[in-house]
Amino acid sequence: MRASRLLFATLRETPGDAEVISHQLMLRAGMIRKLATGLYTWLPLGVRVLNKVAAIIREEMNKSAMEVLMPVTQPIELWEESGRAQAYGPELLRFRDRHDRPFVLGPTHEEVITDLARQELKSYKQLPVNFYQVQTKFRDEIRPRFGVMRSREFIMKDAYSFHANQASLEETYQGMYDTYHAIFNRLGLNFRAVQADTGSIGGNGSHEFHVLADSGEDDIAFSTESDFAANVEMAEAVVKGTRPAATQALQVVETPNAKTIAEVAALLNVDPSQTVKTLLVRGVADEDGKYSLVALVLRGDHELNDIKAEKLEQVAAPLTFASEDEVKALGLEAGSIGPQGLSIPVIVDRAASVLADFVAGANQAGKHVTGLNWERDAQITLVADIRNVVNGDPSPDGKGIINIKRGIEVGHIFQLGQKYSEALNCKVLGEDGKPFVVTMGCYGIGVTRVVAAAIEQNFDDKGIIWPQSIAPFEVAIVPMNQAKSPRAVAAAEELYSELLAAGFDVLLDDRNERPGVKFSDLELIGVPHRIVVSERGIDAGTFEYKGRRDAEARELNKADLLVVLKG
């Protein structure tokens, strides 16, 4: 495309109301403009990226699923059948048509597709089947923000599969897991498939797909050596090695004014990892609502994971810390509690359980003990995984170590089971001639969100750095001294035709602007390859090439240039 015919809507200043980098850069690069809160118009540059993302998703989905297109507007009756009309809350936008019939703007399409399936699917022979669409959705967020990252109107690729049994669901689920890897790889993104809790959609078994970026909202723990990845809250914390033998004698030391682990460790000149903290929480209540306390012991440098603790049969859920009075009733004082000599169950985290000669509270105000050793000095009721994983932990699958990064959720695959098919009575005839309720899976990708996430992962202080597969243009050609050099213009035009013919998506920057302005714009909008055509280069038989991540430009002849562009 010729830049003179493109709406360049680049901004020099960062708009004040854009909090995250992708929102700022999408506005500055002229990709989007706000129409109203949480509603954005995609400008030509943005649509080019959006269309490329959607095309890659379609190509990969078409290998195993069929594209359909469901209405944005849905009759509310279906949501009443599934029970979500009540459950979904005010994010579900409701309206009435001119005949006063109630509808919703679809935030998701489980009900509509299940309604379709119960009409069209008659026999187990038609299963499994997987339908997808790429479509506009609406979620009436109370506080839309971060541009298209959390907008009210957005584009989703949503897929729904139907199965005769759980085994078939699992097979398709694995297929979608692989398809998602193919998609995000082709999108050129650094991502992780993460074991996830299923949240409100329900079901049993799900993965989130996260684009790794420092600005992400979620902490992802993944292995350096395998494809293990999980939300930090979900990742199993394992421990390497066994407990060493005791070498020190137990000793009570004065630790006045040392309240925190850090203060105690500093005072006693030990690493926090050589200390433990002992937390008192409520145990499960009996029939009369009475409960006793439970001690949870973790290494001083570790954090309690509430979800894991709540899952223990000894511990009350939701997790509730002992009150000051309850602690005092046991003759203890917060700040100096230790696991030794306690009359309540002592549940010890795996990592704390392999310590020897460690530091703990002395169960006396203002005092700690050193040289504490399990069994000799303190008894363990149960060893359990009750902490968050940390960088450097062994990966639970035994391969590599844990690395924690922030991620942006861009995809989610679910094993839905029979939640919707049961509610909407979606049955087909089985091999035995009897009707049975089908089993479902669902698979989403936030298409508009992917664009923002790609930017959050790929930018510098000059602007966006697109992966080549989704860049608005793969290559930009800038004729040098355009106004006065017909030779440079002619050579640029020739290269433009040649690269177009070779299948590249090329921008010829023929705007009547200074080269500096063009260079800044091209860096801001993130074109991966920039080629400058000048008289000097023509004479030397070379082109000035600069990759978007390169610090310096370099001279390349045509053959080398083509090799570089193909990447």
* Location of structure tokens 């009900």: 111
Q: Which long-range contacts (CB under 8 A, 24 or more apart) does 267-274 make?
A: 268/359, 268/368, 268/370, 270/359, 270/370, 271/301, 272/299, 272/300, 272/301, 273/299, 273/300, 273/301, 274/300, 274/355, 274/357, 274/358, 274/359
Which token pair is 410? 């861009």
Given candidates 10, 136, 314, 468, which one binds its own copies under the rule CB under 8 A? Answer: 136
3-state secondary structure of 133: strand
Between 140 and 218, whose beta carbon lies closer to its own copies? 140
| Under rule CB under 8 A, residue 68 binds its own copies | yes
Give backbone dihedrals phi and psi of 147, rounded to 5 degrees, phi first.
Answer: 65, -130
Given candidates 15, 17, 69, 123, which one binds its own copies under the rule CB under 8 A? Answer: 69
Between 145 and 367, whose beta carbon lies closer to its own copies? 145
Angle, CA 82 vertex, CA 71 and CA 88 arms, to 5°: 80
Cβ contact 524:45 at 8 Å: no
Question: 428 to 467, contacts with its own copies by CB under 8 A?
Answer: none
Q: Please state at what angle helix 447-457 crosses helix 21-28, rounded to 10 degrees.
A: 100
| Under rule CB under 8 A, residue 53 binds its own copies | no
Given candidates 10, 75, 250, 304, which one binds its own copies under the rule CB under 8 A? Answer: 75
Which token pair is 394? 């062994």
Between 343 and 425, whose beta carbon lies closer to its own copies? 425
| Under rule CB under 8 A, residue 365 binds its own copies | no
At position 394, the amino acid (one-letter code) is P
Cβ contact 341:423 at 8 Å: no
Which token pair is 442? 């669902």
| Under rule CB under 8 A, residue 129 binds its own copies | yes
Between 119 and 257, whose beta carbon lies closer to its own copies? 119
Given candidates 153, 301, 377, 544, which one binds its own copies under the rule CB under 8 A? Answer: 153
**By CB under 8 A, which span of 88-96, 376-384, 400-408, 531-539 interacts with its own copies?**
88-96
Given candidates 88, 124, 131, 443, which one binds its own copies under the rule CB under 8 A? Answer: 131
Contacts with its own copies, 108-127, as mask; x by CB under 8 A: ----x--xx--xx-----x-
Given candidates 42, 473, 496, 545, which one binds its own copies under the rule CB under 8 A? Answer: 42
At position 105, the amino acid (one-letter code) is L
Residue 543: CB minimum distance to its own copies, A: 27
Given candidates 98, 290, 434, 549, which one binds its own copies under the rule CB under 8 A? Answer: 98
- How far apart (Å, rounded) are the C-alpha atoms in residues 56 and 30? 23
- What residue ranges bind its own copies (CB under 8 A)? 5-7, 9, 33, 35-36, 39-44, 46-48, 50-51, 66-75, 90-91, 93-98, 103, 105, 112, 115-116, 119-120, 126, 129, 131, 133, 135-136, 138, 140, 142, 152-153
